Amino acid sequence: MKKNLIIVESPTKSKTITRFLGKNYAVKASMGHLRDLPKSTLGVDVENDFTPKYINIRGKGDLIRELKAEAAKADKVYLATDPDREGEAISWHLAHILGLDDKSPCRIEFHEITSGAVKEALKHPRPINMAMVDAQQTRRIIDRLVGYKLSPLLWRKVRKGLSAGRVQSVAVKIIADRDKVIDEFVPEEFWTIKTKLREEAGAPLFEAEAVKKDGNKLEMHNAREALAVENDLKQAAYKVEAAFRKKVSRRALPPFTTSTLQQEASHKLNFTTRRTMMVAQQLYEGISIGKSSAGLITYMRTDSTRLAAEAVDAVRELVKQDFGDKYCPEKPNVFSNKSNAQDAHEAIRPTSIERKPEEIEPFLTKEQYRLYKLIWDRTVASQMAPAEFEQTALTIGAGAYELKATGSVMTFDGHLCLADKKDLNAEKQTEVPFIKSGTVLTLYKVLPGEQHFTEPPAHYTEASLVRKMEEEGIGRPSTYSPIIQTIQTRGYVVRDGKKLMATELGVKVADMLTGHFGDIINIPYSARMENELDAIAAHQVEKEKTLADFYKPFEQLLEEADRVIPKDPPPLQLSGEKCELCGKDMVIREGRFGKFQACSGFPQCHNTKPLLVTIGVPCPKCGGEVTQRRTKTGRVFYGCEHYPECDFTSWDRPTDKPCPVCGKQLLERTEGNGRIKYFCSDPECTNAAPKRVGRRKKVTTASLIEGETADTEKKTAKRKTAKKKRTKKTGSRKKGAGNAVKKAEE
């Protein structure tokens, strides 16, 4: 008896689906794409409507033969790849390889891997959606044209081995522009002054901040000005001039889209976008829970906040049972999508809200549990009543000065009952008594003025870059994570903690591409291209027209850039040091992580070592130059150029700002949320940085710098070993070729 064959993309998904279906079905995995454009050539015939020349991917021959054999034995073949453009294209390639008619009902689609969803999909097979395939092919062809046409230009003009991408270059430019703003930012000093007041003796105290003087905004730029305001406030009489009290509510946030899941997982779980999508894929494809197996969440590549009506009903019922009727609003909460959202799939939600995180925790890894709980909590909270607050605002007159006192107290937690304790603690609940206008107040104390510095915008993190790309319409849910991974892999961007920073190489490449190809490598064009792809998928635009409209101006820009950009690479710069191995001059070269010193005798001598990069700030201990270095794991730290005579080292960046307490240098620390704080470099000062919580291995300047040098030596040794292996391998190949010729002659 013949079986029906279902082809999915991953082995995990095939195992999960096999458990749902009977013996009449066989489920196999294609392991992603089986056909693609060739790596060795362009693979696109630009003269004949940009026809792609697909070939079977090398190394997948055995799998293709196995799938062909299974398809030949099957009564019916169903293609069940992911429900997006990429999945549709994989199904189209599979149909071509297996000899299936793509117009026949061979494609099934489901957005959650549950028994009901899979069986329902089998009842409604459809032909392959060629419009979606065309949209995917258009993106693939344009990216191939850009990559294979621009990369050789970079090899000739910048450095061999570089590669270019249409959307990735825009992402690098976004990061580089932010880095430039931060580097050029000049902090400005300002002060704030608060007072402690009360209505009468024994009444509760509350704080009020001085905000105006003579009707204008109060500005204090130094300690002297702040002291003058302090003295004035000590002599002033205080009276309430206006009082307001109102109730405000805060609605629940919508359920997760791909973008918001990546951002929230970064903020709360410290996950990278890649890690988030990898764990989400595991939850989607299926987890064994006891004797059963099912996908725990719906498809995780989506830009919609919509929930299915059945899911909404199930969530509302759970809220009533577990939290009470007052936590469930009268009508379901409805959230609007963004204007450019495709709304092809639901928001990311649990496939069954009855599977509570704590009940299935024993069957999940730690990462799977944390991400599932994040999704479960957000889905349930999205259908809960708003949190309610009572806000009080007082405007207080004090002679020529005006002060403000604001307070907010939560009166009903609503959806915030599912928030983390950390998030609830971050809610600034400040009680300010409601005091009628005209009431005279008593001054308890004028608090010492606080010194502040204006802060530059924060460096992009993976989360904020995803948000920026979504806001600008760059990429789609399935592309955010690959874009971020690609620009890091190519060495155009590096991570420092959570911060993303463009390397010198990244800035150079991005400036060159956006400078000479600014008409197609920019934010507006990238967003417009995404809309074009959406239009192709919706049968509104022809693929060939979009490709022609792109390629003609691109080809002209390419010819112009090749003619204008200087061909000769800049001469190597001497570092001023001699190689300790062979005695030749050391020169400054550039790698994926920036500049380094290398022996000018390369390739005979492979000696390399770090290039000391000064930051223009004196050492707090000896007054020498502070240098920026990297540990062997890539983390940035700061040390004195006079090591080992001076042992100064710091994870925090030294600045030239004076400490307001003792006058010594301040250190700049970027917190996990991107905010910048300043601490004194003297550990004995009251303004010194708090000690880090938890046990941490003691790190000294010597261990950091020696580790950096040792890491360079390890890389050199590794290169030598690899070279020996390559030589040995090449020799054996030559010997084998010689034997083959000898046998042929015989």
Q: Where are the beta strands (DSSP E) in 342-400?
A: 387-398
**Biggest alpha carbon distance in the chain?**
114
Fold of 138-184+457-564: Topoisomerase I; domain 2 (1.10.460)
Q: Output the six-digit token pair for 518.
A: 């600014």
CATH number of 4-128: 3.40.50.140
Q: What is the pLDDT of residue 571?
A: 65
Task: Compute the distance between CA of residue 110 and CA of residue 113 in angstroms, rounded to an integer.
Answer: 7
Q: Which of 464, 140, 457, 468 is nearest to 273 (CA)?
A: 464
Task: Compute the distance between CA of residue 184 and CA of residue 493 in angstroms, rounded to an integer.
Answer: 19
Q: Are 483 and 502 in contact (CB under 8 A)?
A: no
Q: What is the pLDDT of residue 584?
A: 87
Q: Where are the beta strands (DSSP E) in 95-225?
A: 189-192, 194-198, 206-213, 216-217
Superfamily of domain 258-385 in CATH is: Topoisomerase I, domain 4 (1.10.290.10)
Q: Hey, what CATH class is 189-251+388-453 in? A: mainly beta
Q: Are 414 and 385 in contact (CB under 8 A)?
A: yes
78 is catalytic: no
User: What is the per-residue burial (b if ≥16 Cβ within 10 Å, else e) of 283-300?
Assistant: bbbbbeeeeebbbbbbbb
Q: What is the pLDDT of residue 158?
A: 77
Q: Where are the beta strands (DSSP E) in 162-205?
A: 189-192, 194-198
Q: What is the pLDDT of residue 438?
A: 94
Angle 549-555-558 from CA coordinates, rounded to 5° = 135
452 sits in the region (left: phi over 0; alpha: psi -120 to 50; else beta) called beta
Given the residues 25, 78, 238, 299, the one annotated as active site: 299
Cis peptide before 603 (omega within 30 of 0): yes
In this prediction the pTM is: 0.76
Which residue stretches of the chain have pLDDT < 70? 1-2, 338-344, 422, 425-428, 567-572, 590-594, 632-634, 671-675, 691-746
Task: Compute the distance between CA of residue 345 and CA of residue 307 in angstroms, rounded to an integer.
Answer: 9
The domain limits of the chain are: 4-128, 138-184+457-564, 189-251+388-453, 258-385, 574-680
Burial class (CB in 10 A: 0-12, 13-18, 19+), 17: buried
Q: What is the pLDDT of residue 713?
A: 54
Which residue is associated with the tokens 């825009």?
Answer: 170
Q: What is the pLDDT of residue 491?
A: 84
Rg value, the chain, Cα: 32
Q: Output the six-digit token pair for 672.
A: 């996990």
